[in-house]
């Protein structure tokens, strides 16, 4: 929660006028707890998992020959029932694993120093931190993924993620509950190494999931 409630108090604290984004942030967050702001992640993840893959679903169901040239497996098609089952399973995992994990992981976010206060980060600061987050996540995710493809990791955990041999956007988070927990580590390491504002953290979580959906789209262009 911000230590000031009014525009005048915030400007006195910073020693300057607030920018327009800072004014919007003050008006929105001044009376909200840090925990409540952090839990916005649950809403963002739900919207991303539900909305972002929809264009890919329409492409899959359209049976358009013009789009087939971009499809990695043009002869493999999933039915609407298959796609809905995938989404239903993903949402079940969301409500029983991802959502509760978000609710209880706030102490770790507070511990590493993710802040909600003013001033807001500059665009350059956000870009630099996101670059670090993507590099750290890409490196650690690669090695964890290698581990999950060893005999034990694949048979016990990772095989669930490969039940859909023809990838679709909804299948990006389709995985064993243990894999969801394990792969949360790479996403957390970047913010732990270069902690920033909660807005940067929100943006990172959103972009990371959108990247995963694109990777599992089944299309290459």
Question: What DSSP string runs through 16-61?
Answer: SPPPHHHHHHHHHHTTS-HHHHHTHHHHHHHHHHHHTTHHHHHHHH
pLDDT tens over the chain, length 221 residues: 677 778 888 888 888 899 999 999 999 998 889 999 999 999 999 999 999 999 888 887 876 656 677 777 777 778 888 889 999 999 999 999 888 988 899 999 989 999 999 999 999 999 999 999 999 999 999 999 999 999 999 999 999 998 887 778 888 889 999 999 898 899 999 999 999 999 999 999 999 999 999 888 877 75
Cβ contact 171:89 at 8 Å: no
* pLDDT given for residue 169 in this prediction: 87
* pLDDT given for residue 65 in this prediction: 58
Q: How far apart are CA 21 and CA 10, in angstroms?
A: 13
* pLDDT given for residue 165 in this prediction: 78
**What burial letters (b/e) apply to 104-142, b meaning 16+ CB within 10 Å?**
eebeebeeeebebbbebeeeeebeebbebbeebbeebbe
Integer CA distances (angstroms), 12 to 7, 19, 27, 119, 154, in order? 9, 14, 16, 12, 57
**What burial letters (b/e) apply to 183-197, b meaning 16+ CB within 10 Å?**
beebbbbbbbebbbb
* pLDDT given for residue 59 in this prediction: 81
Question: What DSSP string runs through 157-206?
Answer: TGGGGGS-SS--GGGTT-S-HHHHHHTHHHHHHHHHHS--BHHHHHHHHH
* pLDDT given for residue 149 in this prediction: 94
Question: What DSSP string runs through 96-139?
Answer: IIIHHHHHH-HHHHHHHT-B-PSSPPPHHHHHHHHHHHHHHHHH
pTM tops 0.85, yes or no: yes
* pLDDT given for residue 48 in this prediction: 94
Both tokens of 139, joined, read: 């490196």
Cβ contact 133:191 at 8 Å: yes
């Amino acid at each position: 929660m911000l230590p000031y409630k009014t525009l005048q108090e915030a400007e006195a604290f910073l020693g300057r006028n607030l920018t327009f984004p800072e004014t919007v942030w003050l008006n929105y967050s001044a009376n909200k707890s840090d925990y409540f702001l952090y839990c916005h992640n649950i809403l963002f993840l739900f919207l991303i998992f539900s909305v972002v893959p929809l264009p890919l679903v329409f492409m899959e169901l359209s049976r358009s020959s013009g789009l087939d040239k971009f499809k990695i497996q043009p002869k493999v098609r999933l039915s609407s029932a298959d796609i809905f089952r995938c989404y239903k399973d993903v949402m079940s995992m969301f409500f029983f694993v991802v959502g509760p994990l978000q609710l209880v992981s706030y102490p770790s976010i507070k511990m590493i120093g993710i802040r909600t206060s003013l001033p807001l980060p500059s665009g350059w600061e956000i870009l630099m931190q996101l670059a670090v987050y993507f590099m750290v996540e890409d490196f650690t995710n690669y090695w964890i993924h290698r581990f999950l493809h060893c005999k034990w990791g694949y048979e016990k955990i990772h095989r669930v993620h490969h039940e859909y041999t023809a990838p679709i956007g909804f299948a990006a988070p389709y995985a064993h509950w243990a894999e969801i927990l394990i792969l949360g580590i790479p996403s957390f390491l970047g913010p732990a190494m270069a902690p920033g504002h909660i807005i940067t953290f929100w943006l990172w979580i959103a972009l990371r999931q959108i990247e995963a959906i694109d990777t599992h789209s089944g299309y290459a262009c």
